[in-house]
Structure formats: structure tokens, C-alpha cells
Amino acid sequence: MQEPSVQEAEAAASLVARARAELGRVIYGQEAVVEQTLTAILAGGHALLIGVPGLGKTLLVETLGTVLGLDRRRVQFTPDLMPADITGSEVLDEAEGRRSFRFVKGPVFCQLLMADEINRASPRTQSALLQAMQEHRVAVSGVDHPLPTPFHVLATQNPLEQEGTYPLPEAQLDRFLLSIEIGYPALEDERAMLVATTGGSRAVAASVLSAHELMEAQALVRRVPVGERVVSAILKLVRGARPETAEDEIVKRHVAWGPGPRAAQALMLACRARALIEGRYSPSLDDVAALAQPAMRHRMALNFSARAEGVLLPEVIDRLVGGI
């Protein structure tokens, strides 16, 4: 695969910089969250946004749809949500005395889907979304219906309320390229947000890219060259997080299961995308360190002894990052 020219990389980086600046007109602070979300989309993947209510998750997804020129939809997940409510269903039509079934597309037929509070849906509904995320198509009555391109799912999850929820299975968590944790804004960011959002007018983001330009940037990301040192660091990090192949005693004792090969793929793509976002021609070890947490924390788990001894997963990942 031919590496991108300097002109191509600079043009794509300029477009992404404009998109990031436009997002900054609406989203106050949260630079790391915006960067990681853009990274997931540029890498062609899905992202899981985890944060308490009121931190702007919905606003971020809506603004991203506008800035990136994507057709967006939002589904509020509830326990009674059925798979057909997402994928669509067949209805019986009668015209000129003849009856036939017609497929009515559900909200998943869009380019940017916000799955709000995804863990409130039943496993049956989650599995329907899983196929769409992985295969970019849905099957209804034995017929495949391809989804629009590009197709991205940004799902939200509230870490506080667990009553009446269905924890996402590991297989579905693994389909998210990044797991992005959203914290409270800094003091000055919250001050600016408070003043701007309680007045008579609010900033509105403008479209910067089209869906076609986004797909071109995504194709460019896959052509970004990666040095052998970065590849080795990714492999060392991912394989070092598995109890079966780990050298670190903490991992051997406290990790129940480690990340699979998809974690390495996600980290490689995310590093390429982050380098492009920051206007660099190739990813570095800093990209691996910055993306290790969002790429790995939802793909591994600690055992009971770790919880009993107060060992935390972010600390384990940071320990591994320090060794690359």
C-alpha cells in the first residue's frame, strides 16, 4: 500500500484541525475526549462514551454529526426496546389487490448512530446492534440490508446507575475501538460553559467535512506508515497484558483475562489516526502511551484477588505502558 504524500497528509490534517476548532466552539474543554472521539471515527471504528449525566455526551455526538457532515440518529435505549426498533421491520402492503411485504428501515440506517445508555437494552437488542457494528449490515427475514457508509456508533453509558441494566458482554465491548471516559470539566472551562449556555444565544457548529471527505481521510489513516519500534511497543503492551504471556507478576496474579488481537489492531489504527490529527506523518511511542487506556481497559478484567487487594485496572495498564 502506497504511503500518503506530505501534501495529502497536510491537507487531511488541516481539515481535521478545522473540524476540531469547530467542535471547540460548542464543546468547552474536554480536549482529550474530543481528540479520542475524533480518533475513533478517523480510524473507522466505534466508541463507548462513559460518564455521569450532564457532561455533554449527547451534545458532542450531535455536534460531531454536523461538523463531519454525517446523517445522524439517536436511539434512547430502554429495557423494552426490541431489535426491530433499531434495525427496522417488514410491513404488509396492499396495492391493487396484491399484498406484499415491504422493509421499513430503522434508525440504524444512518452514518452516525448515538446509542444512548446502551446498557439499558436487553441482550437480544444489544445483539442486533452488535451485528450492525461488526458487519455494517442487518439481516431481516433472511435478507441482508447494507448500512450507509461511513457507519459509526457512539454509545453512551452511565457508570453510576446499574439497577435495571444489562452489562455489555465482552464480545460487544470488544467491537468498540475505544472506551472513552468523560470526567468533570476544569474550572475555567465550566465557567465559560456556564456563561455561554445560559444566555440568549448559543454557538452553533458549522459543517467542515462531507461524508466523502471523511472516508478519504479514513482511507489515508490506513496508509500512514508505522515504524517497527511502534509496532513492537504495541505487541509488547498487548501481549504483556495477558496472564498467559505476561512477564509482569502483577498481571499474572491479578488479571483474569487479557486483550485479544483486536486490541492491537485498534491501538495501531488509533495511533495512526492520532498522528494525523496532530499533523504528524507517523505515530510515535507517545501515541501508544496516550491511547493505551481507551484501547485496552474494556478488553481486559481483573480477578477477585485484585479487587480484594485494591489493585485497579488503570494502574495495571499504566504499569505496562511504563515498560514499553
Question: Binning pLDDT at 50, 70 and 90, where does residue 169 land?
Answer: confident
pLDDT at 151: 95
Among candidates 287, 277, 208, which has minimal Cα distance to 39?
A: 277
Q: Is the model's pLDDT at 164 over the cut of 80?
A: no
Residue 200 DSSP label: S
Distance (Å, whole) CA 64 – CA 128: 24
Residues of the chain with pLDDT > 70, as a percent, come to: 97
Q: Is residue 307 pLDDT above 90, yes or no?
A: no
CATH fold for the domain made of 1-79+110-223: Rossmann fold (3.40.50)
Mean pLDDT of the chain: 89
Show Cβ contacts of residue 256 under 8 Å, excluding neighbours closer than 6 positions. 243, 300, 301, 302, 303
Q: Where are the domains of the chain?
A: 1-79+110-223, 224-324
Cell of 238: 498487548
pLDDT over 80 at 322, yes or no? yes
What cell does 161 get? 446507575
Over 70: is that where the pLDDT of 1 sits? no
Among the listed ranges 72-76, 201-205, 240-244, 251-255, which one has the minimum average pLDDT value? 201-205
β-bridge mates for residue 100, sequence order: 93
CA 149 to chain centre: 16
Does the pLDDT at position 242 exceed 90? yes
Maximum pairwise Cα distance, the chain: 74
Domain 224-324, CATH homologous superfamily name and number: Magnesium chelatase subunit I, C-Terminal domain (1.10.8.80)
Tens digit of pLDDT for each residue in 100-156? 788 889 999 999 999 999 988 888 888 888 888 989 998 887 888 899 999 999 999
Peptide bond into 283 cis (omega under 30): no
Say whether pLDDT at 160 is over 80: no
Q: Taking residues 272-296, what's their average pLDDT?
A: 93
Residue 200 is predicted with a pLDDT of 73
Side chain identity at residue 219, one-letter code: A
pLDDT band at 62 (very low <50, low <70, confident <90, very high): very high
User: Which residues in 191-222 are b (16+ Cβ under 10 Å) and which e?
Assistant: eebeeeeeeeeeeebeebbebebbeebbebbe
What is the model's pLDDT at position 302? 92
1-79+110-223 and 224-324: identical CATH topology: no
Average pLDDT, integer, range 43-51 = 94
Average of per-residue pLDDT across 14-32:
89
- Helix (H), strand (E) at residue 233: helix 228-240
